[in-house]
């Protein structure tokens, strides 16, 4: 559903065949000592390494006037059937690596403690 300001709503339906994807939902672990990242992991980067390709997405808090961006990072993989490695760069500087993450799945990750 799309709604333009002072306009009518539009419904779009995708009739294309499903393709492969991978998605990440990140949660920071800031505590009272300020050692972790913010709860919504705003600013975190996820890099996907697929052969010689690298895809990257960043968690953004906003998307435009009267809107909000999804906190889920979605990567369309098309016909690709494997991800070699995912790298998460948390806002407070920690880095996490996931070898061969499963595709066609939402990965919920919580920032690792030091």
Task: List the structure tokens of 20.
Answer: 């492969």
**Which CATH number does the domain housing residue 48 bear?**
2.60.40
Helices then strands, counting H and E runs in the chain, come out as: 0, 9
Per-residue pLDDT, 61: 81
Each residue's pLDDT, cut to its tens digit, for the chain (114 residues) gives 777 778 888 999 989 899 999 999 999 887 656 666 788 899 999 999 999 999 999 998 876 666 677 889 999 999 999 999 999 999 988 999 999 999 999 999 999 877
Per-residue pLDDT, 69: 73
Q: Could you tell me if residue 74 is inside a domain?
A: yes
Q: Could you tell me if residue 11 is inside a domain?
A: no
The SS3 of residue 22 is strand
Nearest to 105, CA basis, from 74, 80, 70, 78 = 74
Q: What pTM did the predictor assign? A: 0.84
Q: Could you tell me if residue 6 is inside a domain?
A: no
Which range marks the domain in which residue 31 is found? 17-110
> What is d(CA 114, CA 105) in angstroms, rounded to the nearest whole number?
27
Q: Could you tell me if residue 64 is inside a domain?
A: yes
Per-residue pLDDT, 78: 94
The SS3 of residue 26 is strand
Per-residue pLDDT, 11: 92
Q: Could you tell me if residue 104 is inside a domain?
A: yes
CA distances from 91 to 39, 71, 113 (A): 10, 14, 13
Q: Could you tell me if residue 12 is inside a domain?
A: no
Q: Could you tell me if residue 2 is inside a domain?
A: no
The SS3 of residue 45 is strand
Q: Could you tell me if residue 9 is inside a domain?
A: no
Per-residue pLDDT, 5: 76
Per-residue pLDDT, 76: 95
Task: List the structure tokens of 45.
Answer: 């980067």
The SS3 of residue 76 is strand
The number of folded domains in the chain is 1
């Amino acid at each position: 559903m799309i709604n333009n300001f002072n306009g009518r709503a539009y419904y779009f339906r995708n009739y294309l065949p499903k393709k492969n994807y991978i998605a990440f939902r990140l949660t920071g672990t800031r505590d009272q000592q300020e050692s972790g990242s913010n709860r919504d992991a705003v600013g975190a980067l996820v890099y996907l390494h697929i052969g010689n390709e690298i895809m990257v997405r960043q968690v953004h808090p906003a998307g435009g006037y009267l809107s909000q961006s999804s906190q889920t990072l979605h990567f369309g993989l098309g016909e690709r059937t494997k991800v070699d490695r995912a790298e998460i760069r948390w806002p407070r500087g920690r880095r996490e690596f996931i070898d061969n993450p499963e595709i066609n799945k939402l990965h919920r990750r919580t920032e690792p403690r030091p």
